[in-house]
Structure 1
Amino acid sequence: MKILKQITLALIFVLTFEALAFSQVHDPSWRRIIYQSEDNWFATEEAKTIAENVLLYQRAIGGWPKNTQMQNPLSSREKAQLKSLKNSNIEATTDNGATTQELYFLSKMYQATANENYKQAFLKGVDYLLEAQYDNGGWPQFYPLKKGYYTHITYNDNSMVNILKVLQDLKDNTGKYAIQLPKEKFEEVEKAFNMGIECILKTQYKQNGVLTVWCAQHDEKTLQPAKARSYELPSLSGAESANIVLLLMSLKNPSPEVINAIDSAVAWFEKTKIEGVKIKREIDKETGKRNTVVVPDENGYPLWARFSELDDNTPFFSDRDGIKKAHLADIGEERRNGYAWYSTDPNLVLKRYPEWKAKYNTPKKKQEPKDPYNMVVAKDGTGDFTTIQEAMYAAKSFPYERVVINVKNGVYNEKVYIYSWNTHVSLIGESKEGTIITFDDYFKKIDLGRNSTFHTSTLLVEGDDFIAKNLTVKNTAGAVGQAIALSVNANRCYFENCAFIGNQDTVYTAGEGFKQYFKNCYIEGTTDFIFGEATVLFENCQIHNKSNSYITAASTPQSQEYGYVFKNCNLTADKNVTDVYLGRPWRFYAKTVYIECQMGKHIKPEGWHNWKKAEAEKFSFYAEYNCFGEGYKPESRVPWSHQLKKSQAKKYTKENILKSTTKWYQNL
């Protein structure tokens, strides 16, 4: 009996998983035609007639509407109406299996008939999937975008997983699809797939600092769990998360980040499974209506709630009024019987996990680099390490010669620490555009008290004589308050051809008496996005504002001759940004000087702000010299700022600003 039960469970899992994408299509006949028809059927006249319907339903943009029984005969009037809808592109979607199932049908038709029309419609559908993807790697429920919750990154009903499985089969050339992609399209598909996986990793929810699973939908900007319909509240989802994990488990040579994501999700599934009950659908004797109830069953398979609280995993239920209830029986008949409130899907994850873990999660012996002074980091495993932090762990402490860590192109989703004992380290990216270090910590997420800001950095440098070139450092938390991309608390540090991207508090330059040098770099943010007490020279850099606010917040110590010096920099902004201050004093003796910089019209005429500190007007030193552009209006600046004379500006040389016990800056 035990063996029979296991076989039955496995069969239920397989059938359930195959039907996941289409669980909301009420009439299953279209789904059966696509997935259960014999290959030779697709060459029949019946199949060709249906295929013509599929071509008619396809919108000009390449997608299809959902919940449509494509096999139903169409009248002349209906065909004319579909032709008129083509260019409107309305209701094109990937929800409920739409578009992905039509792509598979067209592939089967092309395989059976070699009809070029099916191939072109298929390729247009693939283009639709690529075009609909957000820059952050996610997909909305509808594209073109439809107002409302439809713009959220949508895992609900496995929409995004369905898309990624199509792209995965195409890029891996598994043979599931008979239509071959052109080389350039293959590269686009591969890039889109990788971006999608990165999005999955970035949206995995952290509960008190611990990775858990996913919500059915995530905000397309902040990536945080988001609300959909009134009864689909921000929550952790057992059903959708299971299929995300199954997708991650299908990846060949998974990265450490993917392995960690899977391990964390499995731990959550183990922690939150509901045992000793089952879902029963019975007929109410009094009303004669169907009623869904939870009843005891010690032999039942584990269940997971469709919605669990973000902070403590407590299951909840709700009617269309959006009010949370503790038990299924607490909500009304319509929602109680018309929605899948529990799922068995994570059982399949737990069933496959031990074999996957044995294959990919076996602890590896710490790898020693071939040359400890010249290491290579590569996501694809072709280097000494696959993560930057692994290389840092292997780096010599207080080395007698420079340690060079070459980082190949890739998105490295990790917090990187250059410790105080890791002096003379060079982090050299393959390219600024392709070598990206990213993480998403922010003040409230860290939640360690008033100084939480300083724990949010994606890249933290504490080792003196650090060099970084040709890479991008991002804090992707979004507009959620303080969130540092780069934190430098070290002396004699140099950054060249790098990009630092964030919102509030993008770059923190720390250390009384410390000297730091940014050359040919791009720095963007919203408020005080360059802040700190170090002496820093910014030369030939682009400083980009994303909102009306303040560029700098220097906290220069009183004893320091120089604070921030911007030379030959270009101050730019988003189109809607019109009111930006050059700086405000974090501490009274703040010093910030702009020399021969181009200032866009977004710079406010008054230029500087005292942060409501009258004393700062006496002690701070804010100055400009020979700048230009629409935002340079020296005659309108606040009276307590300065316009330098030529003789005064002469002292702002690289040597004077950066001089130290060594002439470390000479060859930079």
Structure 2
Amino acid sequence: MIARRQLLAASAALMLTPALARAQSPSSAEIAATMKRATRFMVEKLAYRGGYLWSYLPDRSRVWGELEAYKTMVWVQPPGTATMGHLYLDAYHATGDEYYYQASAKAAQALIDGQLPTGGWGYFIDFGGPASTKRWYETIGKNAWRMEEFQHHWGNATFDDQGTGEAIRFLIRLYVEKREARFKRGLDKAINFIFASQLDNGGWPQRWPRVKDGGLHGKPDYTGLITFNDSVINDNIDVLLTYHQAIGDPRVLPAIERAMDVYLKTQQPAPQAGWGLQHRADFSPAGARTYEPEALVTHTTASNIQELMGFYRLTGNAKYLAPIPAALDWLDSVRLPEALWVGNRQFPTFVEIGTNKPLWVHRRGSNVVNGEYYVDHDPAHTIGHYNPRRSVDVSKLRREYEKLRAIPGGPVSKDSPLLKGRQPLSAYWVAAVEPGSDMNVTGGKSAGELVASLNAEGWWPTQLKAISHPYRGPGSKEVAPGDFRSSNVGDSSDTSPFDVKDGPIGISTGTYIDHMVTLIGALRAGS
């Protein structure tokens, strides 16, 4: 693909038609018009009550968030409704066009209308009501074999995948834009939710409030434990920092300090000085989903090292640097033998507590009814949807640590937003669509290509790279023929999304966001 693009670029330099020249170097007016036309489609044709899903067939006969969704749903988990609201505010700042502010306000209203009484959010909002939500969880959610977080309706809010955090940051940003009272109540509820859900030890759980029937597959409920997975704690620190900068609250600084200190409390003793995905109240590592065993976790440990260095920059307090050398030594001690490397993935994801041996996750069966996950010491035939190996640049982390250690606390934290307090927020937030659960995002096009490729209806055609089996009923107790050990999906009853080579053409919210970021950048560059 790269070679073909280079060849096309060379040909264009030799034979450039006037129309192609305009497409490659569109004027600011053409860029602005394209942005507006694409946004009108999203706001007026695609949105449901101001909110968005991730992917749609053009006739809307099937629609998806992370899983197949109902048409009455909007997705909170990025790149969903809150990310769209951020994007609209970026476009508003780039153009001054009130239309984008009002589009952002509609997204905010969707979030507020779907906000749980506690003040947080789930992965999605179903405006079809409780019966519709219950039906979804009992059908599509329950049969998504590898998507265990969707197999049970806890009924509470989640910090997983930054959905609640993204929504709160967006409400902060929108409220300070014009200080409209209509957004203040929802924002206050959300901020109070952050404070109320913080555990006594300083951490945050994956879900809150804790419920009695949260366990799955005979395992204890992990969702109320101290959660580092998907950067839950660090994301909530970032939310509070944003609120501290924009509005201010005397509760913020103590909450942030308690959260930073839980990293110190949960680090395990040397020679296994790492962290797990979750930790119990006694600070010992805990398992989570059935393919997330009780273990020390290399990528979580690397992330926590980075975050501790960030805490030093925020505070100037050397106590946040103190745990790092032992953690780096532990990472070096668990590097896999070269024969087990896959590219630059040289570290096992999971490491057994006590032995330092790699733990490898497998599955058998063909669906959520007859299948199961299990863990052993055999690296063959591991699951494909959760990478068994990780890339960690320990040398780079060491260099960054040594550089920070040489800088005294005062100078390193002199520009800290934690210490500065109230200050204006950035005008532009959406730099890119992060690679993650939404596999249907297409990017990498120039402003000229985007101006030329917006279709007549006002959307950019995107080949969907991930779809799912429609719900056809619960899975069979009999294992279907085939090898599902390393696939993303099981048999035809499995509603988990899976990769396809020749997927249908569809509408992608993430693609729209990516393309708008490119156009906003081009518009700003030409201003």
Larger % of helix: which?
2
Q: TM-score, normalised by structure 1?
A: 0.40
Q: Normalized per residue, which structure has more strand? A: 1
Q: Please say which structure displays the higher CA radius of gyration.
A: 1
Identify which of structures 1 and 2 has the higher relative contact order when contacts are C-alpha pairs closer than 8 Å and 6+ apart: 2
